[in-house]
Amino acid sequence: MISRKHRKTRMVLVLLALALTGCAAREAGSATENTDRSGEPAAPETQRIRGEALVGKDGYGFTPCGSGQQRILTLSSQSRIFLDRFLESGGKLEFFLDAWVREKEGKLEVVAIERAYTEGPRCDSAPEAAQFVASGTEPFWSLRLSPTGWLLERPDSAPLQAVAAAEKTGSGYAWASASPKARVELTPGYCADGMADAASAWQARIELGDVRLTGCAHRGELPLP
């Protein structure tokens, strides 16, 4: 027969085992909350940020719009390739940066760059109320694209507006209108403006009757389809 002392000891061991099992379950649940369905850790959320960037001896410094604090930038491989191309001609030690970033180990990691330039709107100008803004040179033109259509402006022509919905086409977007009969296509890819010290992440093409226009584009503040 098991003594009272032995029964008491066994009961303590059972309770201790149950407590340890509960702790393990809570830890497993917490780990699950921080992983995606594949079991890999969930990626930190990215955000779009604009501000003044500069090239230092040990890397890049960045002061976000609305902040007086300079941050250290780290670059993804894609962002590094973009900036290497933008800076390859030399002389651009300070420039304005519009990029997608995430917090990582106390630094800002640049995941993708929307555009970079030395001349143009700064922090005192709000992002454009459009899905995309595009422009080209020789001849000069500018284009604003929204969820319902686009507006094309050229120096020697009246503004041209069309109704067209944005459609996803592979990794890019397209707007096709019946009146006027035209098609606008935007595809991701490094694009440099030949008449300005600027580069963006989208290439633009317009087919308007017999007219073909090419240029660069960047995202505005309106969401994409």
Q: pLDDT band for position 196 (50/70/90)?
A: low
CA distance 221 to 107: 24
Res. 164: pLDDT tops 50: yes
Instruction: Please state the domain count of the chain.
Output: 2
CA distance 143 to 54: 30
* Confidence at residue 43, expressed as pLDDT on a 0 to 100 scale: 52
* Confidence at residue 155, expressed as pLDDT on a 0 to 100 scale: 92
Asked whether residue 17 is domain-assigned, the answer is no
The answer to whether residues 147 and 206 belong to one domain is yes
Mean local confidence (pLDDT), 177-198: 88
Structural domain containing residue 148: 132-219
The answer to whether residues 86 and 142 belong to one domain is no
The answer to whether residues 201 and 177 belong to one domain is yes
The answer to whether residues 146 and 214 belong to one domain is yes
pLDDT, one tens digit per residue, over 13-71 is 433 343 434 444 444 344 333 333 334 344 568 899 999 999 988 889 999 999 989 99
Q: pLDDT band for position 195 (50/70/90)?
A: low
Asked whether residue 151 is domain-assigned, the answer is yes
For 120, the 3-state DSSP assignment is: coil
The answer to whether residues 67 and 108 belong to one domain is yes
- Mean pLDDT of all residues in the chain? 82
Contact 119, 144 (CB under 8 A): no
Largest Cα–Cα separation, the chain: 106
State pTM to two decimals. 0.77
The answer to whether residues 172 and 209 belong to one domain is yes
Mean local confidence (pLDDT), 179-187: 93
CA angle 96, 100, 101 (to 5 degrees): 100
* Confidence at residue 39, expressed as pLDDT on a 0 to 100 scale: 40
CATH number at 113 reads: 2.40.50.140
